[in-house]
Structure 1
């Protein structure tokens, strides 16, 4: 049994022999040849004409204040040009991005940020996007369809050149304690296009993992219906333990840690983080279909995670006859932070 085989058991809704983790058992990248989002620190404009701001210390890039790529959604066909993914340097990008991947012992994952709703509000601004969901349903539907078709082309090129096990697709639908839109609106305007994207990922022989922050618990059964293999980060507002108990045979859960209250708390100590990680592993791991992954941005969370995983898994490794690699001696930037700042992971 390799770590790759073990983590794949979780993705296939089975109980692994030990607790898998994306930090230890997965190689990840954002495709560097795709000219979307920020191009390093400062203010830059991407291929869609969206202006992005990223400065050292920011947790992630933001659309530049005072800019708005699309001022009227009814004019999107005249104002938005979708690039041709065939023009991207896929071969060179894949060679660079996957050079360090260990395809024998780890799974591989390519991240696609700015999914359907995220790409919409990056173009229009959040306030207008939320208003358009109510006032301009037909225009929203047609723009999201165009975004989905573009993303599907991108997915097909990723499959051809990167050959990953998994696509991680980002699209947030919730605030901290409620959804950003009604469930009926999500089902009418987003679900049909997202369903096509999931199908495209599966048609290419890859797993589909969806990243969605905030409160999205009302959508779990829809996610299962359209074929999600896995879901992260499962913030506590969703009551992840209850969701896992109910749906673990249909969906792999990735995360479920108390990031807001403990792991990402200002000046959180190593001990506080280790206690939270140990508690969630003990709670979430039994029964399988779960992967320990508590961090997206701050690499320092990885240190207590790795320590607790080695502590928890040691007797399980011995039972399975698995000889784990030595604990990593140095923490690396997360793939998100490294890609945004143009630093090496």
Structure 2
């Protein structure tokens, strides 16, 4: 039987996987000191200032944190004067600060799974965190020069983080967040995305690839099939979070071999207070029957981590995939509860 790591690589390289990749089973996600500094003190059900000075809210029963960009809290008051308002978080930490993360890395069997730092938020998210979504959209059109300057500054910060991560953890994968669309459309047109966002990620993901990272997994739980050519040029290996509002089957047929896809089970459909195992299994079955043909696809929920808002939903999907693997491929594996993310 192939290891989880081997099976993932066979799947995304068009080789001979011996079973369906079961959601996030192929990675051990790690929080590094730089990312923790930037995110700030995460408080479920509370609010705080992150490392960029952005006020963050994290209500109960929502999939993730989001910024409060009301006028009294917005960081960038005027994009033309962004340098006056924006100061990047610290990226230099002592060996002691890295030790907890290093200890977790030591406990992972690198032959079995990838070591993947969890980096969030991404370039586009940083932009609208700092100024608000409406202002960001307007500024792409009205102040492109200032936006290019800001993106270059944010990219340099991410490159500093990448250096620290690679120097300390020597990861073989990266899991990077940046939501690029709603359920129905991308936030930017492909041309504007190519102009503003793609160059930043070519530098960032290029650096990781040049420093030992084999696998780039990018999270964007959204519509985004119109951005796939950019994703490929950026160096993304797996688009994690592809929603059912995309034509997943066509994406696999058109781009398989250049990029792979993870998702298809929209959390909004299954990750609900009234969820049942039968409903979750029905969605998982439909996703596999519709989209899975052996290569370039990992059936999974679209949330940006191995878990769910309502306990048990993610595990139910994993149980169904394990059931298919046992019945169709004759491979039985223990399904562990969703707790793959470790934090330093």
Q: TM-score, normalised on structure 1?
A: 0.87
1:88–1:263 distance in 2 versus 1, CA, 3 Å: farther
- Distance in 2 between residues matched to 1:13 and 1:111, nearest whole Å: 26
Aligned residue for 1:228, secondary structure, equals: coil
Alignment partner, residue 163 of structure 1 = 170
Identify the match of residue 248 of structure 1 among 221, 233, 256: 256
Deviation track 1:116-158 (CA, whole Å, cap 9, x = no partner) reads 1100111111111111111110110111111111112212221
Identify the match of residue 206 of structure 2 among 194, 199, 205: 199
Q: CA deviation at 1:33?
A: 4.8
Are 1:300 and 2:312 matched, yes or no? yes
Are 1:133 and 2:140 matched, yes or no? yes
Q: Do 1:9 and 1:289's aligned partners in 2 also have CA atoms closer than 8 Å?
A: no
Q: Do 1:217 and 1:238's aligned partners in 2 also have CA atoms closer than 8 Å?
A: yes
Alignment partner, residue 69 of structure 1 = 75
- Distance in 2 between residues matched to 1:106 and 1:184, nearest whole Å: 36
Identify the match of residue 279 of structure 1 among 277, 286, 290: 286
- Distance in 1 between residues matched to 2:58 and 2:217, nearest whole Å: 26
Alignment partner, residue 325 of structure 2 = 313
Identify the match of residue 237 of structure 2 among 223, 229, 241: 229
Q: Do 1:33 and 1:93's aligned partners in 2 also have CA atoms closer than 8 Å?
A: no
Q: Do 2:34 and 2:161's aligned partners in 1 also have CA atoms closer than 8 Å?
A: no
Q: CA deviation at 1:174?
A: 1.1
1:105–1:146 distance in 2 versus 1, CA, 3 Å: same
Q: CA deviation at 1:72?
A: 0.8
- Distance in 1 between residues matched to 2:236 and 2:288, nearest whole Å: 23
Identify the match of residue 82 of structure 1 among 75, 88, 91: 88
289-298 or 125-134: which moved more?
Answer: 289-298
- Distance in 2 between residues matched to 1:277 and 1:21, nearest whole Å: 11
1:115–1:291 distance in 2 versus 1, CA, 3 Å: same
Q: CA deviation at 1:15?
A: 4.3
Are 1:215 and 2:223 matched, yes or no? yes
- Distance in 2 between residues matched to 1:15 and 1:137, nearest whole Å: 46
Higher strand share: 2
- Distance in 2 between residues matched to 1:295 and 1:196, nearest whole Å: 26
- Distance in 2 between residues matched to 1:289 and 1:29, nearest whole Å: 25
- Distance in 1 between residues matched to 2:118 and 2:264, nearest whole Å: 20
Q: CA deviation at 1:84?
A: 4.2
Are 1:238 and 2:246 matched, yes or no? yes
Aligned residue for 1:291, secondary structure, equals: strand
- Distance in 1 between residues matched to 2:300 and 2:100, nearest whole Å: 26
- Distance in 1 between residues matched to 2:11 and 2:164, nearest whole Å: 26
Count of residue pairs the alignment pairs up: 331
Q: Do 2:105 and 2:169's aligned partners in 1 also have CA atoms closer than 8 Å?
A: yes
1:33–1:141 distance in 2 versus 1, CA, 3 Å: closer
Deviation track 1:80-119 (CA, whole Å, cap 9, x = no partner) reads 1223412366522422543542323222222211111100
1:251–1:65 distance in 2 versus 1, CA, 3 Å: closer
Aligned residue for 1:238, secondary structure, equals: coil
1:334–1:65 distance in 2 versus 1, CA, 3 Å: farther
- Distance in 1 between residues matched to 2:243 and 2:88, nearest whole Å: 33
Alignment partner, residue 4 of structure 2 = 3
Aligned residue for 1:130, secondary structure, equals: helix
Alignment partner, residue 24 of structure 1 = 25
Q: TM-score, normalised on structure 2?
A: 0.87
1:62–1:198 distance in 2 versus 1, CA, 3 Å: same
- Distance in 1 between residues matched to 2:140 and 2:243, nearest whole Å: 25
Alignment partner, residue 327 of structure 1 = 335
- Distance in 1 between residues matched to 2:197 and 2:130, nearest whole Å: 16
Deviation track 1:311-345 (CA, whole Å, cap 9, x = no partner) reads 21125654xxx6x54333xx34574xx86xxxx9x
Q: Which ranges of structure 2 fall in alignment gaps of 5 or more residues?
A: none
* CA-based RMSD: 2.4
Alignment partner, residue 49 of structure 2 = 45
